[in-house]
Amino acid sequence: MSKKAILAICIAVVIPLFFYMIARQYNVPMPGRFFPDSVVTKMKDGKEITDTIWHKVANITLQNQLGQTVSLDQLKGKVVIIDFFFTHCASICPILTRNMRHLQDGLKLKDNMKGVDTTFVQFLSLTVDPEHDSVPVVKKYADRYGVNSDVWWMLTGPKRTIYDFALNELKLGLQDSVSVDSNFVHTDYIALLDKDRVIRGYYHGTDTAAVARLADDLVFIMLEKDKKRKAPIFAELRPLMIPIILILLGTAIGIAYFSRKPKKTNTTNNNI
């Protein structure tokens, strides 16, 4: 491999790492937290310290598209992405579901014997019309949109449970520019929860720019340091290893392809 090719590969890896190190060193703002429940004041080393206790989304138990009873409590340690839909919606829901599908597909960082790495994120879609959207109806909808049940649950259950979760736990009524009807929640908002089930962002799921921002914020939250545990830099970089390998492979293949020397063609001039 030529020196130029090696340099190109190094640049492809070093530049992303360089910006990550800057973000880590200079504390680039992370996605914010929403809805403080209380503020605790305590003394530490002779100094008064205030600590905000942020709203933690309560558990909810529903049925997924496979008919399994599932809950948020099963997703400990995972980042959670939540939206709302109903299967016979002809306006925002198809767009919202397709954009969620793009996020699902974009997060397939590892494929080992057709198994997808599902260790860090879970998608949840809750129907707001559960009287119509039974488990078989939701399953058919999920299959139509290519939903991977390993990483994405489409959920149905008691309407009161779902609406209480949307309005009182995710507090969607406080975010929507158009007032959310408590009798029929119909919004394109996607909510992002961190590993502690604290709300870290709301995004318009029909807006591609907002969805792209969600994808960026998801990466930041994945790399966010645990204040209670100081990890070495190489441990923090571990989640980046697979993307780095993919960048290396893609760059190497591209360089190899475009660096090919054209085949020489022999031309013979015949004088008649």
Structural contact between residues 28 and 19, judged by C-beta atoms closer than 8 angstroms: no
Q: What is the pLDDT of residues 19-66, one digit of tens each?
A: 555 555 545 567 888 777 677 777 677 777 777 888 899 999 999 999
Q: Among the residues of 111-240, which ranges form H helices?
A: 135-144, 159-164, 208-223, 233-237
Which tokens is 206 given? 């029909």
Residue 129 DSSP SS3: coil
Closest CA to 242 of 112, 113, 79: 112
Helix, strand, or coil (residue 177)? coil
Residue 116 — very low, low, confident or very high, per pLDDT cuts 50/70/90? Answer: very low
Contact 134, 96 (CB under 8 A): no
Residue showing tokens 């409590």: 73
Instruction: Supply the pLDDT for residue 113.
Output: 41
Long-range CB pairs of 66-72, under 8 A, 24+ apart, other chains included: 66/135, 66/139, 66/149, 67/135, 67/139, 70/153, 70/155, 72/197
pLDDT at 138 over 60: yes
**Band (124; pLDDT cuts 50, 70, 90):** very high
Q: Lowest mean pLDDT of 2-11, 155-164, 171-180, 246-255, name the range.
A: 2-11
Q: What is the mean pLDDT of residues 98-117?
A: 70
Percent of the chain with pLDDT over 70: 64
Which residues are bridge partners to 125 per DSSP? 83, 154
DSSP state of 179: P
Strands (E), 113-260: 115-116, 121-127, 152-155, 189-193, 199-204
Band (181; pLDDT cuts 50, 70, 90): low
- The pLDDT of residue 202 is above 80: yes
Q: What is the mean pLDDT of residues 168-179?
A: 74
CATH class, domain 56-223, is alpha beta
pLDDT at 162 over 70: yes
The C-alpha atoms of residue 88 and residue 132 are separated, in whole angstroms, by: 9
pTM score above 0.85: no
Domain parsing of the chain, residue ranges? 3-30+232-258, 56-223
> How confident is the model at residue 16, as a pLDDT?
52
Q: 78-92, 134-148, 208-222: lowest mean pLDDT where?
A: 208-222
Give the helix ranges, DSSP H, for 86-194.
92-106, 135-144, 159-164
